[in-house]
Amino acid sequence: MKEFFGCEPGIRSYNCLLNAFVVGEGVVGVDVGVGLKPDVVSYGTVINGLAKSGDLSCALKVFDEMSERGVSPDVRSYNILIDGFFKKGDSVGGMEIWERLVKDSGVYPNVVSYNVVISGLCKCGKGLLENGMVDEGISMWERVADNNCLVDSTTYGVLIHGLCKNGHLNRALVVLREAEDRGDALNNFAYSSMINGLCGVGRLSEAVRLLDEMREHGSQPNSHVVNALLNGLIRASKIEDAIQLFKEMITKDCSPNVVTYNTLINGLCKVERFSEAYNFVKEMLEKGWKADMITYSLLMDGLCQSKKVDMAINLWFQVLDHGLLPDVIMHNIMIHGLCSVGKMEDALHLYSKMGEHHCVPNLVTHNTLMEGLYKARECQKAYIIWARILEKGLQPDIISYNIIMKGLCSCNRICDAIVFLNDALSRGILPTYITWSILVRAVLNHGAVT
């Protein structure tokens, strides 16, 4: 480097180079150059790269090496490690590093530290916000201010999200109200989490009111917030309210995105308002959004559920004409639709062509075909599908067994159905109420098993 630039590179130059390797996912060692001693930035950069690549044991070794070489870890180094452990689902490891940070006399947790810990514990479903530990979770949040850290919008967001995710909606509302009363910043993530939580338990009026209050407090809802409420309205079958909210969204300078349109399309298809659903697809395309696989799958599913399978087939070919490759979900929707109207040959043909679309049939595909074939009294073909489940290494579930037992019972083969019941038990698959209902009904209809 000296020959090229005419000067010796310093530690900052090597740190920049280290960072470039990390960004490019080529994590390197900590030795930076002859005569130069790695500093805290050098170590932090390498720890960050190792943590991002999932090699936390090596990241921890580098972290411990810092002190051995006389370099004191900074709060960023701690935060990187804590975040790495939590992202890997290791809440114990994350909390162990947190305890080391708290005990380190030379370093103090900052607001990022608290955000990482609260967020990590919420995502892992461990510790702080688990049932019976909510007060401790709030205590951790309050400790932010006690340690002279300013609570930011991210802190509120991760706490509200975690409380809602774990079913503590009222506590989440208290946190949100306190933030509003203090005039503290709340981000769209906090509001969308709260609205999503309220909608999830049917508290729609509160969710709608919260959106209005958000605007009153000077916050502009983005598409994520509105989408959360739209989804809640659709799930509650309040289609007209959802459409009205969509119209208000546009007039209030909140741009809808693909998720917005897909949510509305899904709701309209569920109530068989297909012409309106297609109009939203058209509007979506006119505004520059591309219909994705979810868009087409929602339309196709709605058509199939309404027995409009021919229209679904036309839509299938439109997907192919647009150069899209149907995924396994779309294949399953189409196969289910064909089976539901007795078009078993078409369903089997589509199944046989899945490989041409680089699509691998899953258990749902095979279960759907088995059920359709048994309903068509094609018992031998249904058994061939069962054999393929086993050949492909798929693990049959209780749904698979219920389908085959019901099919066999419908053919008055109750003894064979009981053989499959024993096979399920031998695999550790427990019968459900539906399983016993199938067998009891068969015995009552066809007589005792001999």
Secondary structure in 3-state letters for 345-393: HHHHHHHHCHHHHCCCCCHHHHHHHHHHHHHCCCHHHHHHHHHHHHHCC
DSSP sequence for 322-338? TT----HHHHHHHHHHH
Instruction: Count the alpha carbons within 13 Å of 406 in the hemisphere toward its beta carbon.
Output: 20
Mean per-residue pLDDT for 296-303? Answer: 94
- What is d(CA 135, CA 446) in angstroms, rounded to the nearest whole number? 59
What was the pLDDT predicted at 35?
A: 53
Instruction: Tell me the average pLDDT of the chain.
Output: 85
Mean per-residue pLDDT for 38-67? Answer: 86
Give residues with Cβ within 8 angstroms of 116, minimum separation 6: 79, 82, 83, 86
Residue 333, pLDDT > 80, answer: yes
Give residues with Cβ within 8 angstroms of 316, minimum separation 6: 300, 326, 330, 334
Q: Which of 150-154, 250-254, 283-287, 371-375 has the highest mean pLDDT?
A: 371-375
Residue 131, pLDDT > 60, answer: no
The answer to which of 97-111, 164-178, 373-387 has the lowest mean pLDDT is 97-111
In Å, how far are 58, 283, 339 from 368, measured between CA atoms? 47, 34, 8
The answer to which of 108-112, 201-205, 303-307, 393-397 has the lowest mean pLDDT is 108-112
Tokens (6 digits) for 312: 């679904």
User: Would you place residue 5 in the very low, low, confident or very high pLDDT band (cuts 50, 70, 90)?
Assistant: very low
Mean per-residue pLDDT for 335-354? Answer: 96
Tokens (6 digits) for 116: 């990482």
- What is d(CA 443, CA 412) in angstroms, rounded to the nearest whole number? 9
Is the CB of residue 51 less than 8 Å from the CB of residue 84? yes
Mean per-residue pLDDT for 368-380? Answer: 95
Residue 164, pLDDT > 70, answer: yes
Mean per-residue pLDDT for 40-67? Answer: 87
Which residue from 244, 294, 228 is spatially nearest to 284, judged by alpha carbons? 294
pLDDT tens digit sequence for 319-328? 999 888 999 9
Which residue from 175, 87, 172 is spatially nearest to 123, judged by alpha carbons? 87
Coil, helix or strand at residue 130: coil
- What is d(CA 79, CA 98) in angstroms, rounded to the nearest whole number? 8
DSSP state of 30: S
User: Would you place residue 126 in the very low, low, confident or very high pLDDT band (cuts 50, 70, 90)?
Assistant: very low
**Which ranges of 168-306 would DSSP assign to H, the alpha helix?**
169-182, 188-200, 204-216, 223-235, 239-251, 258-270, 274-286, 293-305
Using alpha carbons only, give the angle 135, 140, 144 rounded to the nearest 5 degrees: 140
Residue 110, pLDDT > 80, answer: yes
Percent of the chain clearing pLDDT 90 (strictly above): 52
Mean per-residue pLDDT for 408-423? Answer: 93
Mean per-residue pLDDT for 231-260? Answer: 92
Residue 125, pLDDT > 60, answer: no
What was the pLDDT predicted at 191?
A: 93
pTM: 0.73
Mean per-residue pLDDT for 307-318? Answer: 94
Tokens (6 digits) for 353: 């062509």
User: Would you place residue 22 in the very low, low, confident or very high pLDDT band (cuts 50, 70, 90)?
Assistant: very low
In Å, how far are 84, 281, 390 from 363, measured between CA atoms? 34, 31, 10
Cα four-point dihedral sign 232, 237, 241, 245: positive
Coil, helix or strand at residue 444: helix
Mean per-residue pLDDT for 423-442? Answer: 94
What was the pLDDT predicted at 3?
A: 47
Q: Which of 8-22, 164-178, 346-360 has the highest mean pLDDT?
A: 346-360
What was the pLDDT predicted at 241?
A: 95
